[in-house]
Structure 1
Amino acid sequence: MSSKQFAQLLLCKVINEQDISQLTKYNITATDMPTRVDRDTYQFLRDYYEAQGEMPSYATVATSVANFDYVPDVTDSFTYLAKQVKNYSGKVAIFQLLEDPTMQAKFESMDSIEFAEYIEQAMHEIKVNAKISTGLGTNVLLDGEKFLTEYEKRKAGESNKVWASKFPTINREMGGYTEGNMYAVYGRSGRGKSIIVMEDALEAACNGAHVLIWALEMPWFEWMARAYSSLSARRQIFNAQIDGVDYKTGFYNRDLQQGKLDETFEQAFRVFTLELGEGQHVKGSITLRSVDDDNFDRRDLAALQADIEAVSANFVVIDPIYYMDFEQNTSKTAGGDVAATSKKLRRLAGKTKTAIIAVTQAEEEKESRNDEGARSISIPSRSEVKKSKAILEDAAALLAFDSADDTGVIAIKKGRSGGEDVQAELVFMPSYGVVKEIEYEAALVREF
């Protein structure tokens, strides 16, 4: 039997069983049909069912479709037949791609990386289309064993990985960051929201996560200086007295950025970086793509997925999301490009089993100051989120941040698992690498 005949057998079995849902279940489309007769038969079945609400008999199909050859008593399973149809369709698609008359022109006009990405994307689409689903959803009443299998994996820490936050309130109220979810963090410009997100990314890396950072407005040297300051503070390398209080600190961030460490500190820093390279302090990995990288030209979802797969990322930061290359605004509505990107980003988190944190900005407001003229903390509301409000709806949790002087506050503005309107008060001195939650119950307050 020719491989292309499996499409005919599948269509005849659909007619015999009077069950067109099998075509949808296994994602069988007209493009999977290898011959004109098969495509005409497929389309006739679809059109007839849509108009009549029921399937036609084989006699009606034979009368309506030229050269239709009916095969009775097809006993092979739908799964087997669908798999054969998809297999043949995939091979045809690969052949057509390789024989594409424009291939030579693409090869000559694109550089090697662009051409490789074009081939990779085309082959990925063929691979996705060639797969068949193994069933429609999960039977809640009959699939108890499936649930118990997943339950045991989670019990053993082998599935549904949760990456702990550096801040106890986030862990207590949200349960940390769970793979497959997208989270959003927002705050006004210059208040330190990128620091907060970096701290949790470093925490995940310290706990074994492969972290991917898309720093879309911060140069790599600045980001690394901040990270080194924080990681060294976790090692409590130095003692410092700040405003009369003793702290365990790391390397001073500004000195790192300006290349002004004194000789003793510079030698200690060189030892520290060697220890990092040997994996002494961080169990996982951190891959940084920054705004000033020469080869960081594509910043769309396809490029993000490629980076995630390349480094086997578990924890992803996009800072800020509004500097990504957005998806096309097919809805023709205001903000449609952001909305489309947000929805696909959420799906990407689930598909790649990553925890994705998207950073965005809040509208500026007139600063609030106390009697001494010092700026006071003012947590922005959800309505103040700027440019990318769609991610508020798609995110599993929404965190707002603000800082003033040496303090900061994280507020949970939306939490799928609870904790909405809970706040955590922080010691916020990122210049010394010191960013931590104040450990007393008064730090946990609720807004009224």
Structure 2
Amino acid sequence: MVHNPLVVAALSAGLLAPLAAGMYSSNSPVLQLTGKNFNEKIIKSNHASIVEFYAPWCGHCKNLKPAYEKAAENLKGLAQVAAIDCDEDANKKTCGEYGIQGFPTLKTFKPGKNGKPVIMDYQGPRTAKGVVDAVLDLIPNHVERVNSKTVESFLQKKNETVKAILFTTKGVATPMYKSLAIDFFGSISFAQVRDKETEALAIFGVEKLPTLIVLPGGTAEGVVYDGPMKKDAMTKFLSQYAKPSDGKPAKEEKETPTSSSTSAPPPKPTFDSTIPDVPSMGAFAESCGKKICVLVITPPVAPSLAPFEKTNFYVNHIKLGFPFFQLPYATLSPQFKEALELTDTENVQMRALSAKKGWWVPYKGDANSHEDMENWMDALKLGDLHKKKLPELGSDVVTPPEPPKEEAPKEEAPKEEEPEKEAPKHEEL
């Protein structure tokens, strides 16, 4: 092999070092982050994101790169797959703020209320499919579900604004349609009507599915989209009626206090939980051996579901179609926590399981959002969620309590708990 003496000399002198500093090239589908643009690109974004905190010299980071770039390619236009080089001095402060101690560390960012995202450690498989499946579940849903009874109220609400209605066979919005609703958030109201809503279909004369209709607003007639059901083409079509927004949700307006507001606020309603506990996997299997069941895991700070009023009211008063069981996080066996990726110790967590078919599905919505839970239930019934393999958990789900000791217990320092096919193509409507 013939070596160019100029290149060899440059390498020896370290002149080409900046070219090797970053692990991802400028044409990589992975979004490049820095300490300066992290908040703007990730924290303030209304798109779901996954961020890799890495160092270029890290062998595991290099091994992850092909799968991570493949995931980014498949999630293009749907969510953000990003990376930040923690070896760069300018980025070390940002990496420190997120407690990065090893590489690569992956964290997911799901847009939340008031501009504060829900940040979680990614504990799934480090494959393209694993990353894609996890991030798809985090995409916010700004698509309103409309049926034959509610279509009129949807049309009358903010009549001057542009509306887009998708008539489809699907019961839940696809990632692509949800991403369109994010791109045009605040400028176009998105809705979805299922094929079984025959009266709503008749109002618009819809005969084939899927069909997308845009209502420009006011008295203007609706326009039927006749192009391919692809993100770029649909974006171009919708842009004729409204400009894509920055995807930022409007800030919630605070109520202005009135003269009568000096009186004490009315007491909040409370709801006693009627969700039974799970004493063992045997008891769970007996009730859920041939059907899907949902486990509600309560955090150590509130081992009973009763304080979580909205969640408790929803699961106790809405017809869900699934048996529910309640388990305190602190009583679960370490094996069970690891198998079902139960790493959140501050909030309610939910997991749907099928003991017969050997899979489980995590709930990644807001525990206080009825809409998130309802969408999750619909997707669960339709089989539209990404299922994970249910491993052998043994006979115990709950760790039996230790017998009382006669001697006075000695104080011990608390131990820290360790948190612990191919990628799908763009999903069409």
TM-score bracket for this pair, using the shorter chain length: under 0.3
Q: Which has the higher contact order (CA 8 A, sep 6+)?
A: 1
CA radius of gyration, larger in: 1
- What is the TM-score normalised by the length of structure 2? 0.22
